[in-house]
Amino acid sequence: MPKGKGPQGKRITLKVAKNSMRVLFNGRRRIELSKMGIAVFPKCLLELADVEEIDLSRNMLKKIPNTIEKFQNLMWLDLHSNQIDELPAAIGTLRNLTYLNLCNNKLTTKGLPEELTLLRNLRTLNLGLNCLESIPTTLGSLKELIELGLFDNSLTIIPKSVKKLPKIERMNVKRNPLPEFAKEEEPIDTIKRIESLYLVEKKDLCNSCLLTCQGERDELHKLENMTPGPSEKPDFTSLTTPNSTAIDNQEEWRVKDDNPENIPRALTSSTIFKHFV
178 CB neighbour count, 10 Å cutoff: 14
pLDDT < 50 regions, the chain: 1-7, 185-186, 239-259, 262-277
Q: Rg of the Cα trace of the chain?
A: 33
Please list, residue by residue across 63-73, b when 16 or more beta carbons sit within 10 angstroms of its beta carbon and e when fewer do: ebeeebbbbee
Q: What are phi and psi of 38, to 5 degrees?
A: -80, 130
Sign of torsion over alpha carbons 193, 195, 196, 199:
positive
Q: Rounded to whole angstroms, how far apart are CA atoms 51 and 46?
A: 10
Among candidate residues 39, 118, 145, 72, the one with its CA nearest the CA of residue 127: 145
pLDDT at 264: 47
| Residues in a beta bridge with 54 | 31, 77
pLDDT at 270: 42
Residues whose CB is less than 8 angstroms from the CB of residue 242 and which lie 6 or more positions away in sequence, other chains included? none
pLDDT at 9: 82
DSSP label at 9? B
Integer angstrom CA distances of residue 65 from 87, 144, 176, 195: 8, 26, 30, 72
pLDDT at 240: 47
Integer angstrom CA distances of residue 185 from 155, 175, 189: 21, 17, 12
Chain centre distance of CA 11? 39
pLDDT at 212: 76
Q: Collapsing DSSP states into helix, strand and coil, what is residue 162?
A: helix
Tell me the one-letter amino acid at 212: T
pLDDT at 217: 79
pLDDT at 215: 79
pLDDT at 21: 96
Q: Rounded to whole angstroms, how far apart are CA atoms 245 and 242?
A: 6
pLDDT at 216: 78
